[in-house]
Amino acid sequence: SGFTGGALAVNGGVVLAFEKHMNKILEIDLENLVAVVQPGVINIHLQKEVAKYGLFYPPDPASMEYSSLGGNVSENAGGMRAA
């Protein structure tokens, strides 16, 4: 969402945006309960995909509709269900 300013380049730094070209769910391993995704995957897209198998993606940031998994990792964001 950018709310915390995590996507602001500091002192001439560079911001990489992955949501346009690195936004694919590559694999859902049902046996091991692992999803292999690219960093630009939007949270809600993964949530909807795993729901097809009766599963859910535990992190639930308030920005789930538009925040990316890579962004969640970089900001340590997980929502109410995060441990």
What's the pLDDT score for residue 7?
66
Q: How many domains does the chain have?
A: 1
Element (H, E) at 69: helix 69-75
Non-local CB neighbours of 79 within 8 Å, separated by 6+ positions: 59, 60, 61, 62, 64
Does some domain include residue 32? yes
Does some domain include residue 83? no
Does some domain include residue 40? yes
pTM: 0.77
What's the pLDDT score for residue 83?
58
Residue 29 forms beta bridges with which residues? 34
Mean pLDDT by 10 residues, the chain (83 residues): 67 80 96 96 95 91 86 75 61
Does some domain include residue 30? yes
Query: Scanning the structure block, which residue is given the tokens 């995590």?
Result: 6
What's the pLDDT score for residue 2?
62
Does some domain include residue 29? yes
Does some domain include residue 46? yes
Does some domain include residue 18? no
Domain limits for position 58: 25-75
Q: Helix, strand, or coil here: 43? A: helix
